Chain A
Amino acid sequence: MIARALATTALALAAAGCATTGGDPRDPLEGVNRAVFAFNDKADEIVLRPAARLYRNVTRQGLRDAVRNFFNNIDDLFIGANNLLQGKGETAVNDWLRFAFNSTLGFFGVIDWASDMGLEKHNEDFGQTLASWGVGDGLYLVLPLLGPSTLRDTAALPVDWEGDLVQQHEPVDERNAITASRVVVRRADLLGASRTLEEAALDRYVFLREAFLQRRRSLIYDGRPPRERPPAE
């Protein structure tokens, strides 16, 4: 249902956005992507950013930490599954232990005891798992509402949704409410980053694309990508 709505929006925007392209080989759909980027930006400005600011203004840091922990804890099961699929058994066990401790002793994940115990939090998704199996990025895509992605990561999304406990939650109205809250909570954490983007970038589209692709590469290699050092002057 969501997927179909997204596909329709993407098509509509594709038809609308036949603008110039910068000729970047990683981004052949730049014209379309820029149109979606502009659309997302507007949606963010009108809906998401005000909601995130409101959330930030009416809550205290302690509560925000608890809520963030709660949502992050939910992810740990699927993160562990991805680590297992990538052949990192020990890391998977680490993630599942995190989930076990934090869900019980940590009151449904609200307190992150596991980090204090030295069980480090990881970042995995099915796109990274596919990458570890040798699937390349594919072209760069900006998805409506979801933002920067690659062809590989977009193809991995249905699996990510399948593995997301929130998306498995019934009934649907509760699921939607939880999903919406999570989006706002995550956006609130990025308020600083988006301001930095605003200030640092000459061309925000390009700046975000480069940052996203670098970040994905770093995540795929678990923070230790092979070094590409340019020749120093």
Chain B
Amino acid sequence: MKRLLAGLAMLLVAAAAAAGMTPPDELVKDVMLDIQRAIVQDQDLQKGDRAKTIRVIEEKALPHFNHVGMTALAVGANWRKATPEQKRRLAEEFRALLVSTYASSLSAFGDQKFDFRPLRLKPDDTDVTVQVRVLQPGSQPVAVDYDMEKTPGGWKCYDVRVAGISLVVNYRTEFSNIVRDKGIDGLIDALAAKNKSLAAKHAAASK
């Protein structure tokens, strides 16, 4: 009986994979609740253990982000002028900066309540916005919107908007200012320097 159930479950999983992929709204919900569960269950994460927090983000959240696409959008028109090597470096440094920023705010995530807005997904949709609201007593809920695109590897997020503030748009002016003054390599250097100083700061804080 047990084996039969297990076999049935496997079949269902295979069928789901064949039929398509996890719908974007379910994916967002699963990932957010999974991360929240990890925090609730782990004292170190609540206390802000940085290495561990970054591991959780890398493991649970990052596979669902298109970080090259995000970088391209944040860099804007200058992206096309970058060489493949510059693109790779830009994406790598931007990704590190986002992970670091995310890690600093993650411990607050533990006791938050979410309102996951269901999405009416049409079969031919390839670009959708998944809406989540973070509820907080006495204040207006904070809207968190995930812009997601369909890729062969599943739905991937390419921008996050918190309270109407798009991450990608927010970086665009900063990035284009730096590229204008110091070129694309200047932007790579600026991002790398920022990441280095953040890493040093957190290393000093954990000692």
Which residues of A approach B to under 8 Å, CB–CB?
22, 24, 65, 68-69, 72, 112, 115, 120-123, 189, 192, 195-196, 199-203, 206-207, 209-211, 214-215, 217-219, 223, 225, 228, 230, 232-233
Asked whether A192 and B105 contact (CB < 8 A) given A22-B177, A72-B139, A202-B194, the answer is yes
CB pairs A–B below 8 angstroms (28 shown): A22-B177, A65-B138, A68-B138, A69-B137, A72-B138, A121-B138, A122-B140, A189-B139, A192-B105, A192-B108, A195-B104, A196-B105, A199-B101, A202-B174, A202-B178, A203-B177, A207-B174, A210-B170, A210-B172, A214-B165, A214-B166, A218-B165, A225-B164, A230-B73, A232-B69, A232-B72, A232-B149, A233-B69
Contacts of B127 in A (CB 8 A): 232
> Nearest chain B CB to A148's CB is how many angstroms away?
12
Q: How far is the CA of A215 from the CA of B168 in the complex (A)?
A: 14
Q: How far is the CA of A122 from the CA of B139 in the complex (A)?
A: 8
A203 and B174 contact, CB distance less than 8 A:
yes
> Taking the complex as formed, is B158 at the interface, i.e. its CB lies under 8 A from any CB of chain A?
yes
Q: How far is the CA of A189 from the CA of B101 in the complex (A)?
A: 18
Contacts of A196 in B (CB 8 A): 101, 104-105
Contacts of B108 in A (CB 8 A): 192
B76 and A230 contact, CB distance less than 8 A:
yes
Asked whether A210 and B138 contact (CB < 8 A) given A199-B104, A217-B164, A218-B163, the answer is no
The main secondary structure of chain B at its interface with chain A is helix
B151-185: which residues lie under 8 A (CB-CB) from chain A? 158, 163-166, 168-174, 177-178
The main secondary structure of chain A at its interface with chain B is helix
A115 and B174 contact, CB distance less than 8 A:
no
Residue from the list A195, A215, A232 in contact with B163, Cβ < 8 A: A215
Query: Interface size class for chain B?
Result: 35 or more
A210 and B174 contact, CB distance less than 8 A:
yes
Residue from the list A199, A218, A232 in contact with B73, Cβ < 8 A: A232
> Taking the complex as formed, is B28 at the interface, i.e. its CB lies under 8 A from any CB of chain A?
no
Contacts of B174 in A (CB 8 A): 201-203, 206-207, 210
> Nearest chain A CB to B91's CB is how many angstroms away?
11
Asked whether A214 and B143 contact (CB < 8 A) given A115-B138, A202-B190, A233-B79, the answer is no
Closest to B137 in A: A65
List 11 other contacts, CB 8 Å, given A215-B164, A218-B165, A230-B73. Answer: A69-B138, A123-B140, A192-B105, A202-B174, A202-B178, A202-B190, A207-B171, A215-B165, A225-B164, A232-B127, A233-B72
> Nearest chain A CB to B198's CB is how many angstroms away?
6
Residue in B68, B140, B169 whose Cβ sees the most chain A Cβ within 10 Å: B140
Asked whether A233 and B73 contact (CB < 8 A) given A203-B174, A214-B164, A219-B164, the answer is yes
